[in-house]
Structure 1
Amino acid sequence: MANKIFLALVIIGIPLSVIGSFLHWSGILMFAIYCLTIIALSSFMGRATESLAVVMGPRIGGLLNATFGNAVELIIAIFSLQAGLIGVVLASLTGSVLGNLLLVAGLSFFIGGTKYKRQKFNVYDARHNAGLLIFAVVVAFVIPEVFTQNMAETSTMSLSIGISIIMIILYLAALFFKLVTHRGVYQPAADAENPHEEEVPEWGKKKAMAVLAGATLAVAYVSEKLVHTFHEVGETLGWSELFIGVIIVAIVGNAAEHASAIIMAYKNKMDVAVEIAIGSTLQVAMFVAPVLVLVSLFFPVSMPLVFTLPELISMVTAVFLMVMISNDGETNWFEGLTLLAAYFIMGIGFYLL
């Protein structure tokens, strides 16, 4: 049923996006059309990556899901940088970290936990990811804020570029560690109790990759149009750039991951669900954010890797909460509810800020 609804949204949404853009329909109306269309396209990206996850295994499947899910946000962010909306881009990065660690993981743990009393996942991956999360957010995001207090603008940008290059190198090294040198070294703890049944992917490998490519191109077009509605939407609804970036752009940009992680958790495939939620956060912090800093050098206004104090405190809090909850390699519905509660508290704060 849901797949039919998303298909209808794509069939209707893409033509409306084109027609509405040419006819200059209301910014609020177009904002809604663009968001629904991106979410529908993201569902197809999620189904395609789920099919690839069956073929290639949970780690690579989770990585693919995170990558193509973040591709949507990366596209939106690049067009926002081009439009000079630095605040929206930084806020959307914050929103991705909070959304993945609190909203996506929270919904996955909660919905999966209503079906299974205890859900286990690879404790070794959880502990490995915990260290990377602390590095990516606490070290790489907080340190620039500390050092740039008394820095000139050019020095701040130089520091951001240096940090970005180091983070990209470490992220690539982390992938090499997980997928090459230590692939299969740490077997999922849950495998003994919950052996994976033989599954048949919804789509074959070629079809899944074709759907991913087509959906990504469509998202690129709609995202470019979406960015131009932010100003009118903000003025009309009284939303700040910070709220639009942290909540709206982050949810729309990560819709594919939201759906896929929840479905995987409901099927008790927690290794994939956790890899999507935490792996996507790491990819945003250690790859997407640094890439955006480097890409911004080609635009009139460069983006330093410096967040506001509310953004930093929220991200650090989300990281430590996730580390504490996931470090034992198992979860339940109450832990999911705890993550969701933290997300909604922060959401209220950003709305009122």
Structure 2
Amino acid sequence: MVNKLFLIMLIIGLPLSVVGTLLHWPTVLMFIIYCLTIITLAGYMGRATESLAIVMGPRIGGLLNATFGNAVELIISIFSLKAGLIGIVLASLTGSIIGNLLLVGGLSFLIGGIKYKRQPFNVHDARNNAALLIFAVVVAFVIPEVFSSNMTAQETMNLSVAVSIILIILYLATLFFKLFTHRGVYPSSHEEESTTHEEEPEWGKGKAIIILALATLAVAYVSENLVHTFSEVGETFGWTELFIGVIIVAIVGNAAEHASAVLMALKNKMDVAVEIAVGSTLQVAMFVAPVLVLVSLLFETSMPLVFTWPELISMVTAVFLTIMISIDGESNWFEGLALLAAYLIMGVGFYLL
């Protein structure tokens, strides 16, 4: 039923996106069409990566899901940088991090926890991810903000570039650690990995890869047009750049991960669900954000890795709350509700700011 609905939305949404752009339909209407089309395309990306996850295993599957889920946001952010919307890009990175940890993680824990009393996941991965989250968000994001107060704009940009390069190198080392040198060293306490191969993927490996490629190209086209609607939509609804970036762009850009993580939690595959939520956060902080800093050097306005204090405090709070809840290697519905409550409080704050 859901798949048929997504197919209908895609058949209607993609042509409307093209026709509406060419005929210059009202901006607010096109904003809604673009967002729904991107969410639909993200759904197809999520289904394709889920098929690949069944073939390749939960860890690689979760990484693939996070990567292609973040590809949507990366594309939107690059076009935003090109348009000079630095505030929206930084806000969308903030929204992606708190959205993945609190909204995606919270929904997964809540909905999965309603069906199952307790849901175990790999405690060793949880502890390793906790250290990386503290490094990526608390250290790498806070340090440039603290030091920039005594620096010129060029010195701040130089510091941002240096931090970005270090983050990318460490992220690549993290992948090497998880997928090669220590793959299988810390097995899950759950039997998920032993049963994953028995599932039948929705699509074959070749078809899934083709759908991923086509969906990514379509997202790139729609995203470029979406970016041009932000200013007028913000004025119409009274939304600030900060709110558009933290809430709207982050939710639209991460739609594939939201759906996939919740689906995995419903199937009691919490290793994959946690890998999507936390792994995606790490990818945003350690790869997407640094790449955007380096890419911004190619445009007229470069983007330093300097967030506002409300953004920083929200991200740090989300990190520590997630760590405290997930460090024991199991989840329940109440912990999910606590994460969602924190997200709602931050959302109201950004709306009123």
- Normalising by structure 2, report the TM-score: 0.99
CA separation of 1:337 and 1:153: change in aligned 2, threshold 3 A = same
Aligned-partner SS, 2:187? coil
Task: Count residues with an aligned counterpart.
Answer: 353
Measured against aligned partners, the alpha-carbon deviations of 1:318-350 in whole angstroms (never above 9, x if no partner) come to 000000000000000000000000000000000
Unaligned runs of 5+ in 2: none
Percent identity of the aligned residues?
Answer: 78
Report the counterpart of residue 217 of structure 1 in structure 2.
217
The one-letter amino acid of 2:270's match is M
Report the counterpart of residue 243 of structure 1 in structure 2.
243
Measured against aligned partners, the alpha-carbon deviations of 1:54-79 in whole angstroms (never above 9, x if no partner) come to 00000000000000000000000000
Report the counterpart of residue 155 of structure 2 in structure 1.
155
CA distance in 1, matches of 2:265, 2:319: 20
The one-letter amino acid of 1:189's match is S
CA distance in 1, matches of 2:102, 2:192: 28
Once the 2 structures are TM-superposed, how far is the Cα of residue 195 of structure 1 from its aligned partner?
Answer: 5.1
| Contact 2:57–2:193 (CA under 8 A) maintained in structure 1 | no
| Contact 2:42–2:69 (CA under 8 A) maintained in structure 1 | yes
Aligned-partner SS, 1:252? helix
CA distance in 2, matches of 1:192, 1:2: 25
CA distance in 1, matches of 2:145, 2:167: 16
Say whether residues 1:275 and 2:292 are aligned partners: no
Report the counterpart of residue 144 of structure 1 in structure 2.
144
Unaligned runs of 5+ in 1: none
Once the 2 structures are TM-superposed, how far is the Cα of residue 189 of structure 1 from its aligned partner?
Answer: 1.3
Aligned-partner SS, 1:184? coil
1:288-303 correspondence to structure 2 within 5 Å:
288-303=288-303
Report the counterpart of residue 35 of structure 2 in structure 1.
35
The one-letter amino acid of 1:345's match is I
1:315-326 correspondence to structure 2 within 5 Å:
315-326=315-326
CA separation of 1:49 and 1:136: change in aligned 2, threshold 3 A = same
| Contact 2:63–2:276 (CA under 8 A) maintained in structure 1 | yes
CA distance in 1, matches of 2:172, 2:165: 11
Aligned-partner SS, 1:150? coil
Report the counterpart of residue 72 of structure 2 in structure 1.
72
CA separation of 1:192 and 1:305: change in aligned 2, threshold 3 A = closer
Report the counterpart of residue 61 of structure 2 in structure 1.
61
- Normalising by structure 1, report the TM-score: 0.99
Aligned-partner SS, 2:149? helix
| Contact 2:57–2:197 (CA under 8 A) maintained in structure 1 | no
Aligned-partner SS, 1:3? helix
CA separation of 1:54 and 1:197: change in aligned 2, threshold 3 A = closer
CA distance in 2, matches of 1:196, 1:119: 16
Q: Which runs of 4+ in 1 moved over 3 A?
A: 192-197
Aligned-partner SS, 1:298? coil
Aligned-partner SS, 2:89? helix
Report the counterpart of residue 12 of structure 1 in structure 2.
12
Once the 2 structures are TM-superposed, how far is the Cα of residue 193 of structure 1 from its aligned partner?
Answer: 11
Once the 2 structures are TM-superposed, how far is the Cα of residue 191 of structure 1 from its aligned partner?
Answer: 2.2
Report the counterpart of residue 175 of structure 1 in structure 2.
175
Report the counterpart of residue 50 of structure 2 in structure 1.
50
Report the counterpart of residue 23 of structure 1 in structure 2.
23
Instruction: Calculate the aligned-residue CA RMSD, in Å.
Output: 1.1
CA distance in 2, matches of 1:275, 1:85: 30
Once the 2 structures are TM-superposed, how far is the Cα of residue 159 of structure 1 from its aligned partner?
Answer: 0.1
Report the counterpart of residue 82 of structure 2 in structure 1.
82
Report the counterpart of residue 351 of structure 2 in structure 1.
351
